[in-house]
A and B are shown apart, each in its own frame.
Chain A
Amino acid sequence: MKGSILSFEQVTFTYVPEDEAVKPAVSDLSFSIGEGEWVALVGHNGSGKSTIAKLMNGLLFPQQGTVQAMGLKMSEESLWNIRSQMGMVFQNPDNQFVGATVQDDVAFALENNGVPHEEMVVRVRESLQQVKMADYLDHEPHHLSGGQKQRVAIAGALALRPRLLILDEATSMLDPQGRREVIETIRELREATGLTVLSITHDLEEAALADRVLVMNAGHKQMEGTPDEVFSSGEELTEMGLDLPFAMRMAGLLKQAGVPMTGESMTEHELVEELWTYYSSK
């Protein structure tokens, strides 16, 4: 792991600090993300994931602990500087589309940061190419599918050439097709540019692609490790209301039924592979 790009140190945050009865949305949380990593943050509804995202870019400030990003301590002064190096994509494709057309929307963050016009034109093209939406320059949002809108949102975040891309359930409102498009886009981006990604998700299948997984439970960090490590504690995850990916659940059930399964089947492809070898060797 290269230098850390973002770190939380014993961060505690409460929405209603006046009221003792309200539990903190995030309590005593410490973790860090290294340059070039893909980290997935998973957890049940209300476990504090979105709150963490908001703490990362100064939409919220913690009552205790410190947030550091891009080598700067988060404060009113460093806020805009940090935000300009951090792209963020949210859940609802419609509610984050600011521009009238695709290209206007991608240019929005550039305009805000005072990038000169000639440079903007180049960067808009470039980022749209990265998400394969370059043919849609003049399209209006209501003529795009959810997956396309999310890819445009990613392009909008990329246009500023951020060091960290945060996706807060960016795929959860999409159909399977749109979800695949978006995940594929992120994978390709990482291959091409080595961008650091933090994806917040319900979907363990998406989390399985990450280098590291953080599991949140009621504001606490419950587990941390590689997808293999985290998913091997199947019971514990299910108790927290998280569903294992279909292929993994299937493998588990097959094992129970007496079919010998070697290793941890992670993807559907590997499962099929395994079943096929098992069947032909029988």
Chain B
Amino acid sequence: MMEKMIFGRFIPGDSIVHRLDPRAKILFVFLFIAIVFIANNAITYAILLGFTLLAVFLSKIRLYFLINGLKPVFILMAFTFFLHLFFTEGGALLFSVGFVDVYEEGLRQGIFISIRFLVLVFMTSILTLTTSPISITDGIEVLLGPFKRIKLPVHELALMMSISLRFIPTLMDETGKILKAQMARGSDIGSGPIKERVKAVVPLLIPLFVSAFKRAEDLATAMEVRGYRGGEGRTRYRQLNWRFMDTLSLLLLVGFAGLLWYFRS
């Protein structure tokens, strides 16, 4: 289950989308989220879907892979679809099952909302699938740069994010080890009533916390020894370079927004 889940995962590759500047991609997705709300009729939703599929195609992510990986999201999507289907009134009555009446408007809304959901999930997944977490962090740091003026600790936040990302696998390994160690001592986390299971998690969490604090302390020492003293006067090893493609992608998005605006009713 966890292996198949692609939400938030990065798949290295060499498509046009992979090569875009992370700043461009982040801006793109945020603008796209706003633009999605322009759509309000069949044509505009169709264009929206088409545009998203084009983006998937350009990113060279296999559609099957994307759909398979987002299964849990589809369950949620189906849920909202039926919610709209059953509870929105208006238009002609299509059919009724028992005490639920399904109206034309309900079906329309259900489909529209589902498409909206789908394109949003697809676009954000494309962002995370084609951009390494560290690039996303870099992008966010630079984009938020102006907020340093109002004393937002942008550099510190970005560093925190990249260190957390860096330690996820380490702590996962550790959790696995502790779990095995506790199982070897007869602890049983996988079964029993909820209350028992929650209780069994405690001896897992405590050693994990203890070790995480130890790691944090060691890391702080190692950073200090290597001359870390905040963002001031620091240079960056990772350079972002904005190319023509990046400008083009954003222009394309603006054009797309214009198109939607033209066809909306």
Q: Which of A59, A86, A114, A157 contacts B235 (CB 8 A)?
A: A114
Q: Which of A80, A100, A115, A160 contacts B134 (CB 8 A)?
A: A100
Whose C-beta in chain B lies nearest to the C-beta of A88?
B225
Q: How far is the CA of A104 from the CA of B226 in the complex (A)?
A: 13
Chain A residues with Cβ below 8 Å from B239 are: 117
Chain A residues with Cβ below 8 Å from B222 are: 88, 90, 95-96, 98
25 sampled A-B residue pairs with Cβ under 8 A: A86-B225, A88-B222, A88-B225, A92-B215, A95-B218, A95-B219, A95-B222, A96-B218, A98-B163, A98-B219, A98-B226, A100-B132, A100-B165, A101-B134, A107-B237, A111-B234, A112-B226, A112-B229, A113-B227, A114-B234, A114-B235, A115-B235, A116-B235, A120-B237, A124-B237
Is A156 touching B226 in the complex (CB atoms < 8 A)?
A: yes
Question: Which residues, 121 to 161 on B, are CB-close (under 8 Å) to A?
Answer: 132-134
Q: How far is the CA of A100 from the CA of B169 in the complex (A)?
A: 11
CB proximity of A209 to chain B, nearest CB, Å: 24
CB proximity of A54 to chain B, nearest CB, Å: 8
Given pairs A109-B227, A120-B237, 12 additional interface contacts (CB within 8 A): A59-B224, A90-B221, A95-B218, A100-B133, A108-B223, A111-B235, A112-B228, A114-B233, A115-B235, A116-B235, A140-B169, A141-B169
The reply on A4 being an interface residue by CB < 8 A is no
Q: How far is the CA of A72 from the CA of B132 in the complex (A)?
A: 43
Chain B residues with Cβ below 8 Å from A99 are: 166
Whose C-beta in chain A lies nearest to the C-beta of B230?
A112
The reply on B199 being an interface residue by CB < 8 A is no
Question: Which residues, 64 to 97 on A, are CB-close (under 8 Å) to B?
Answer: 80, 83-84, 86, 88, 90, 92, 94-97
CB proximity of A111 to chain B, nearest CB, Å: 5
Q: Point out residues on B near A: beta carbons under 8 Å.
A: 132-134, 162-163, 165-166, 169-170, 173, 214-215, 218-219, 221-229, 233-239
Q: Which of A84, A141, A142 contacts B227 (CB 8 A)?
A: A84
Chain A residues with Cβ below 8 Å from B165 are: 100
Given A59-B225, A90-B222, do A111 and B237 touch, yes or no (CB 8 Å)?
A: yes
Range, interface on chain A: 35 or more
Q: How far is the CA of A92 from the CA of B236 in the complex (A)?
A: 26
CB proximity of B32 to chain A, nearest CB, Å: 27
The reply on A103 being an interface residue by CB < 8 A is yes
Whose C-beta in chain B lies nearest to the C-beta of A53?
B225
Q: How far is the CA of A140 from the CA of B239 in the complex (A)?
A: 19
Whose C-beta in chain A lies nearest to the C-beta of B166?
A100
Contact string against B for A residues 111-145, beta-carbon threshold 8 Å, 1 for contact and 0 otherwise: 11111110011001000000000000000111000
Whose C-beta in chain A lies nearest to the C-beta of B221?
A59
Q: How far is the CA of A204 from the CA of B229 in the complex (A)?
A: 36
Chain B residues with Cβ below 8 Å from A94 are: 170, 215
The reply on A171 being an interface residue by CB < 8 A is no
The reply on A199 being an interface residue by CB < 8 A is no
Whose C-beta in chain B lies nearest to the C-beta of A83?
B227
Given A110-B235, A112-B227, A112-B228, do A142 and B218 touch, yes or no (CB 8 Å)?
A: no
Q: How far is the CA of A107 from the CA of B163 in the complex (A)?
A: 15
CB proximity of A19 to chain B, nearest CB, Å: 22
CB proximity of B193 to chain A, nearest CB, Å: 36
Is A98 touching B237 in the complex (CB atoms < 8 A)?
A: no
Top 3 A-B pairs, shortest CB-CB distance: A95-B218, A107-B237, A96-B222
> Which of B133, B214, B229 is most buried by chain A, counting CB atoms within 10 A of its CB?
B229
Chain A residues with Cβ below 8 Å from B237 are: 103-104, 107-108, 110-111, 117, 120-121, 124
CB proximity of A103 to chain B, nearest CB, Å: 7
Q: How far is the CA of A90 from the CA of B162 in the complex (A)?
A: 21
The reply on A57 being an interface residue by CB < 8 A is yes
Chain B residues with Cβ below 8 Å from A101 are: 134
Question: Which residues, 153 to 180 on A, are CB-close (under 8 Å) to B?
Answer: 156-157, 160
Q: How far is the CA of A235 from the CA of B226 in the complex (A)?
A: 40
Chain A residues with Cβ below 8 Å from B221 are: 59, 90
Q: How far is the CA of A200 from the CA of B173 in the complex (A)?
A: 28
Q: How far is the CA of A151 from the CA of B223 in the complex (A)?
A: 17
